Chain A
Amino acid sequence: MMRALAIGGFLTALLLFAAVEWFARREGSRIPALGDLCAYVMRYEVGSVPVGRIGLFGFWWWLGWHLLAR
């Protein structure tokens, strides 16, 4: 029962990611695509340090290591 709840919850989240991306790619959408959102986050800098870029790269690196190497 609890396992089905977890599977359903994660599937719902993945479907929501796909749905929001689909709406974002429609003509005249007010929602930015995920790539644009990431690009905006990666613009964030503190002084000359690209904090947003380092943070997003670090998160994606960790995610790949966590799922594919562990």
Chain B
Amino acid sequence: MIVAKGLTKKYEDFVAVDGITFSVKRGESFGLLGPNGAGKSTTMRMIASTSQRTSGDLTILGKDPNKFGPEIRAHLGVVPQQDSHDRELKTWENLYIYGRYFGLSRKFLKAKIVELLEFAQLTDKRDTKVSALSGGMQRRLTIARGMVNEPEILMLDEPTTGLDPQARHILWDRLFRLKEEGVTLVITTHYMDEAEQLCDRLIVMDKGKIMAEGAPAELIKKYSSKEVLEVRFGSKNNAEAGQKIAHLGDRIETLPDRILVYSEDGEKILKQIHKMGLEPQTSLVRRSSLEDVFLRLTGRTLVD
């Protein structure tokens, strides 16, 4: 559905997206994972035909966004990073007028809005002004709004940033339903758990480039070990302790606040550390995640 080859976006001297190549298949849930400033949003905007590429090729459903901007946008549902509701209007009016922007008939929208309010669990907030909705509700309304034109591709830019855990889970549940209905999802996120939950396949981006591509489990297997032991010796002692335990496990990463030891068996490593006479303040064994993949690829953490 989406094919990008050598896609590049430059703003004067700054290269936001640096020659990336990827493709998204129908019905797939595709992720762009990376820290802030990696070029995820810029890539999204180019796909959404609201930003013109500097060079490279891009086709969405076989159409070039430079030539068929409005036409491509009719195929897409867009959920921007910041909620941008019409604050002068009520909840249902926001859905209504957004549908009208696509030229959809009043009759069609009347039925559609009932369905969408139900989907977003906002039926009882129909006549509330959007400014009175909570953050989670506004986010769900944005997703419902993105669905009003029955898009084939739904573009979600940081869909759960700024939401509390409960609101996130409700939102994820809604997105799963859409996926089940066959909607292609393109999601940017800097949350690894979100990427693992929602994405069939993803690209890891950093500084405008693709660092790795694959299914979340595949990437973890390829770039990390099965388990990770996190130990903290206090910020002053971490560097010194890191050198002492450097020979343990497959690999270690010493971060300012903690040391990560990668291995197949975290508990075993922890025992070895105790045997050496070292007493970490806290210790935690967990499964490897995309966060570790990113750390491995870039030497930095996802959320600074």
Whether both chains belong to one complex is answered with no
Residues of B within 8 A of A (CB): none
Q: A residues within 8 Å of B by Cβ?
A: none
